[in-house]
Structure 1
């Protein structure tokens, strides 16, 4: 019913709207045509005036260049230009040496340097001195004549015969703009502008006209269709509100208050004779029942999956512990120092993998990844516990930001630290090591891992160990981390960029 009542008056509203828009469009087209005629007329008048003055300037410049000028020629030129320019017709004629051959009584405006007097530009805007200069050179190029036109004179010439309210005239040459309107003020409000090219063609005359203010009659004719449509909507509202809108609002509130797992009963609060709304409420009830059933099934499946994950975790952890115990038993039965050290080296790497696994599962509940600080701390404690007898007092210092990394990064990081710690223990058993992990200041997903120890300084023994064993392992781990492993031999520092979780 609301739609029918609204559509009943819609044709009348459309007719009035089209008529109003057509009238406004006709007025705009008339104003645009008037503006085009005015700017064309102004451009022609200004071009003709400049061309006339240029002819007089050219005759005088040629006469002075050929030494054929009589003593009264400058006065006649001044009288001719003054008859056109109410401000006095300022002109100045120079030769190549910069000597002024002829001039008007007024001072020359600033803006044209002595070195630029013989430029090839026919005319040039001088916004700083609010004037336009016209330049004419003699045929032999030895004499140049400059005529300056003030803003008031330019406006008096370019003032169109057509009466236009709130207009503004401006000249533009490249990035230079000269406002030539009487007030010199910028026209405010919505403007319509048209341009015409002068001779010289690099100067544009632009005329801007402000739109007339909106009157009551203009606004009324424009908004009358909306008023008619609103009246139809108001009438329809009284009829439709009780039957359709209010029941739909109540139904929306009931649905908005829905909580997962609950079953909606919207028709207990909504009373309406509309069968469509009653069917919609029943549909919401059936959907909520299906959602509650599916959520219960998903919760049960999630709990089962969590239990299976915990069981897998415990089995992996137990397997790693069994492997570590077997390695320890074999190490105790070994008699040679090299065999014992080999078993200890293998056990350290198994312990490193175990540390990564434990930290990964601990952080898995919060879905943040592996914590870098607890990983390195636990790994350092494990490495010191399995250190050779001569390296029992090997110290490890840790400085790390609160960062988290994925398991695919944590495993190579743990092995990399294990290799470097073992290498430092072999080279300097009584030394210390500093492990630092600092977040990159420019990228939130990058951090710099730095391992520094006196045993990692460049030496013959270190070069030998890297060539025999550690070098290939360190290179492989840096490839897994997809970043170059930098070594500062003088400081004994290894550093590599790793990816962190922002």
Structure 2
């Protein structure tokens, strides 16, 4: 998301950067044009000042050369030059013999030989003194006038009207230089721009140099401000999108992922400024969770009602079976033939077996784990011994079973199977014993081996007769109902069958 926002805002940042660079380039061109105007203006002002003073000097030396000059002309010349020069205008007039005919009150800044006074150029930068000298000879070349311009005067005259910062004015004549600006130390770094203009008709150039300030951190920041604004806009956009959209969606996703049936979702309870669409989505999830919680409660209530009804059904079935067993017991008491008594007892044992299954299933409904094998076998053994024939009242039954549970569909045929085997063993060996065991098969977690061992179940002629008459068919039918083979070991007197258990 951050990359998408960054790429979306990048063209705007580049446009702003190009506009900033173009503005800097335009400003540089404007500075160059302003510098050109300023140096031209300064050269013209300096030329006009020099020309004005030379005109006054020319009139004075021509007057002195004609020998008819007014004696007050030097005073008037001094007043004129002093009006233009704050330092009073240093001028000196000599003849060919080296006599000073007229001069200002200050001493001459630099001494020149007689030949140098008359042979130098009209305007000259002195090599040994910081002055600009202007020479004005008379018409007959017998008199020469010299005027000295100091740095301060030249700077005041050449000062441009434009406000240029960090400017520096320099006069150049050949290899001679005279810096007429106030001498100051230039800052390190930065870029300088220079332009020159000639002082017509003199062989002197005025150079103006403008030094830009060095690239400071503030200037660099101002240059890259568009990129900084672009990054700031992307960061602010990311913060807003994360605060308004992404963060609420992440919280909503986590709340939905951790949802458990029956809970009521409140995913955006602690969020203050999410988008209204996210709020609506959160409210939708909350309403859905409320509906699910309501349906869960209704289903739990319905399940509890059904569990109560099922328990009631099993209770009534158990009671009905007990009533049937009591009726069979009453009829057995009125029977006089031993065969009839044994037949009633056999029927009663099977009804009791079915009643035991319902009673155990009814007890296990609270935990919904199925019928426990150990309590089923224990109660069934007690019932079988209670209804055993008089000759088999001492028949012992030993139980060895793991804590296993089976469904009612498995419990009913197992109860009948054990009833048939115990009755057969009591009939063949009334004074014997039986060992019933149930253990989980090592290779199968949902299967257990039910084993019945008794001396009365060993192979014999009587057993063969009983199996062929009735018990064999019943045992085969029950093994088919359990969907497993019933193995018989005649020598050991054991029966074994694999049954399905509840893990």
* C-alpha distance 401-464 of structure 1, shift in aligned 2 (>3 A): same
Is the contact made by 1:251 and 1:270 (CA closer than 8 Å) also made in structure 2?
no
Is the contact made by 1:431 and 1:455 (CA closer than 8 Å) also made in structure 2?
yes
* C-alpha distance 251-313 of structure 1, shift in aligned 2 (>3 A): same
- Name the count of aligned residue pairs: 284
Structure 1 window deviating more from structure 2 (288-297 vs 470-479): it is 288-297
In structure 2, distance between residues paired with 1:325 and 1:376: 22
* SS across alignment from 2:439: strand
Is the contact made by 2:487 and 2:496 (CA closer than 8 Å) also made in structure 1?
yes
Work out whether 1:285 is the aligned partner of 2:286: yes
1:142-166 CA-to-partner distances (Å, cap 9, x unmatched) read xxxxxxxxxxxxxxxxxxxxxxxxx
In structure 1, distance between residues paired with 2:411 and 2:234: 66
Residue 333 of structure 1: aligned partner: 334
Aligned-residue offset at 1:234: 5.4
Aligned-residue offset at 1:366: 2.2
Structure 1 window deviating more from structure 2 (239-248 vs 315-324): it is 239-248
Aligned-residue offset at 1:324: 0.7
Residue 471 of structure 1: aligned partner: 472
Matches within 5 A, 1:441-452: 441-452=442-453
The gaps in structure 1 that reach 5 residues or longer are 12-229
* SS across alignment from 1:402: coil
In structure 1, distance between residues paired with 2:10 and 2:384: 84
* C-alpha distance 233-372 of structure 1, shift in aligned 2 (>3 A): farther
* C-alpha distance 266-409 of structure 1, shift in aligned 2 (>3 A): closer
Matches within 5 A, 1:170-189: none
Matches within 5 A, 1:423-434: 423-434=424-435
In structure 1, distance between residues paired with 2:234 and 2:404: 60
In structure 1, distance between residues paired with 2:484 and 2:269: 65
1:151-208 CA-to-partner distances (Å, cap 9, x unmatched) read xxxxxxxxxxxxxxxxxxxxxxxxxxxxxxxxxxxxxxxxxxxxxxxxxxxxxxxxxx
CA RMSD of aligned residues (A): 2.9
* SS across alignment from 1:442: coil
* C-alpha distance 232-439 of structure 1, shift in aligned 2 (>3 A): farther
* SS across alignment from 2:450: strand
Aligned-residue offset at 1:284: 2.8
In structure 2, distance between residues paired with 1:355 and 1:413: 11
Q: TM-score, normalised by structure 1?
A: 0.52
Matches within 5 A, 1:347-358: 347-358=348-359
* C-alpha distance 448-274 of structure 1, shift in aligned 2 (>3 A): closer
Is the contact made by 2:248 and 2:268 (CA closer than 8 Å) also made in structure 1?
no
* C-alpha distance 8-321 of structure 1, shift in aligned 2 (>3 A): same
Residue 121 of structure 1: aligned partner: none
* SS across alignment from 1:447: strand
Is the contact made by 2:5 and 2:238 (CA closer than 8 Å) also made in structure 1?
no
Aligned-residue offset at 1:437: 1.5
Larger Cα-atom Rg:
2
Residue 461 of structure 2: aligned partner: 460
Matches within 5 A, 1:293-312: 293-312=294-313
In structure 1, distance between residues paired with 2:304 and 2:277: 41
